[in-house]
Every structure is written in C-alpha cells, then in structure tokens.
Amino acid sequence: MNHDTATVERAMDASMELAVRYLASVLLENRSLAQLATDIACLAARTIPHVDEVSIALVDGAGTNVFVFSGDLAATLDERQYNSGFGPALDAAQPGSLLRIDDTDTAGEYPDFNAAAQRQGISRVAALALPMSTEVRGAMTLYCRRRLEAITSHDLVSAVTFASYASAVLINAARLHRLERHIAGIEAAMQSRSVIEQAKGILMARLAYDADTAFQQLVHRSQEDNRKLRDVATELAAATAKEGPAIALARSWPILT
C-alpha cells in the first residue's frame, strides 16, 4: 500500500465513522419510515467507497412496503427488478441471504437486468440483505458506475458495517411506525364506537328502541346503503345536532317515523 492509498483509506474510514455516529444519534420522532430510509440511502451513497447510488427496500409483513433511492438511476434499475420480479436486490431480500455481487456481465445470472444496468453506465452491483427482524425484511443495493477500480474487500467491509448500523435504525423506525399505526387504529375504533353509541342513543330516545334494536337498525341501514356503519352513524349524529332528531330521523328512516 503506497502513501496515497493509505491516506485515501484513512479518509474513507473517517467518513464511515462519521456516518455511523450519525446513525447512532438519529431521532425517529416526526419522520416517516420512508423519509428516514431515503436519508439513509443518500448517506450510504456518500459514505461507502466507490458507490454512486443506493436503494433500500423494506417489506413489512403487515403490508407496508418502502422503496427509496438516493437518485434516479437507482430508482430506474430497482423498478426494473420489481416489474420483472427478478434481480439481485430481490434475491438479497430473501430470508437467509447476506450479500450478492454482480459485475453486470450479460452472460451472468441476471442477463436482462445486467444489460439494462450497462446501458445506464453501471459496472458493478452489490446487494446486501439488511439484518432486520422477523416482521420486516430489507435489502440495500449499491450501484457503481464504470470505473477501473473493482469493488474491493475494504469496500464490502464498509458496506456491511454501514448496513448493520442502518438496520438497527430502520428496525426501530419500523417498529415505531407499526406501533403508531396500531395506536391510530385503536383511536379510530374508539371514535367509531363513540359515534355509533351516540346514534343508538338517538334511536332509543326518539323511537323507544332498546339498545339491540337500535343497533340492528343502524346495521340494516349500513347494509342497505352499502356504507360503513360508522358513516351511517356519523351522518345521523351530525344531522341530529344540526336539525334535531325528528327531522334527522324523518330523512334517514322515514318509514320508522
């Protein structure tokens, strides 16, 4: 190793240290999972040696998928894989995968993808599985433009190091996102229950129904109108507040009144 090479590698190591410190200090509040993943993809593109663009894919078993990119080139090549259902990024995201490297040789394992990558000026692709959790799978794909230097073992160590810290941040963000969705679902259910109880009370007070009959009337109207029960109840409660129960019921249940 000559003096210049040693200087470059020390600078790269210093850059990686700064990136790792940033990942360790990331605050998750007020940031969506997609926003955070995009920031991490852009940071990876700036930090990992000989890498020009980066994509990150997260697949949540609950149905929330996140696909982000550091630039248009990564977006174009990733979307090609998603559309065809085949490519190094998709394979890397499978359980048990760790790392896939492709030199975009059109005679290789992904000839169509490799040909598209070559047309975009890409010479090397490295796809790493992000060590996530049983609920979330992920992959980080590194795109390298044409240059004389190959992806070295030092580059791969940097990439794996970055991925391990990035994964920790993304796991916590994904769990927070799932918790927020769960809380939002509970709050929505409580609001729905409240307005349904209010609508039941209107029917019980005005038409002398018992609780079960009032609820069945709301269900019947919901099915008849092909609308959610919550929407039917909300409409009745809002109309009652504005016009009074007699007018509201005359409009909604004219036969009953």
The 10s digit of each residue's pLDDT in 69-103 is 999 988 988 888 877 777 777 777 766 565 566 66
Query: pTM value?
Result: 0.62
3 by Cβ neighbours in 10 Å (0-12 / 13-18 / 19+) ranks as exposed
Which single residue is written with the structure tokens 């044409």? 146
Predicted pLDDT at 204: 83
The 10s digit of each residue's pLDDT in 94-137 is 665 655 666 666 566 777 888 888 888 888 888 888 877 767 78
- Cα–Cα distance, 133 to 11 (Å, whole number): 33
The 10s digit of each residue's pLDDT in 135-170 is 778 888 888 886 656 667 777 778 888 888 888 888
Predicted pLDDT at 202: 82
Backbone CA torsion sign across 193, 195, 197, 199: negative
Domains, in order of start, for the chain: 3-176 (3.30.450.80), 182-252 (1.10.10)
Which residues share a beta bridge with 69?
Answer: 55
Mean pLDDT lowest for which of 24-28, 53-57, 127-131? 24-28
Contacts of 151 (CB under 8 A, 6+ apart): 50, 101, 124, 126, 142, 144
Q: Residue 6 corresponds to which tokens in the numbers above? A: 């040693």
Predicted pLDDT at 60: 74
Question: What number of other Cβ atoms are within 10 A of residue 15's Cβ?
Answer: 15
HSE toward the beta carbon, residue 166, CA cutoff 13 A: 32
- Quick one: what percent of the chain has pLDDT higher than 90? 4
Q: Tell me: pLDDT of 20 over 70.
A: no
Predicted pLDDT at 70: 92
The 10s digit of each residue's pLDDT in 183-241 is 766 767 777 788 888 888 888 887 778 888 888 888 888 888 888 888 888 887 877 77
Distance of alpha carbon 71 from its chain centroid, rounded?
18
Q: Tell me: pLDDT of 56 over 70.
A: yes
Predicted pLDDT at 54: 92
Predicted pLDDT at 252: 60
The mean predicted confidence, pLDDT, of the chain is: 75
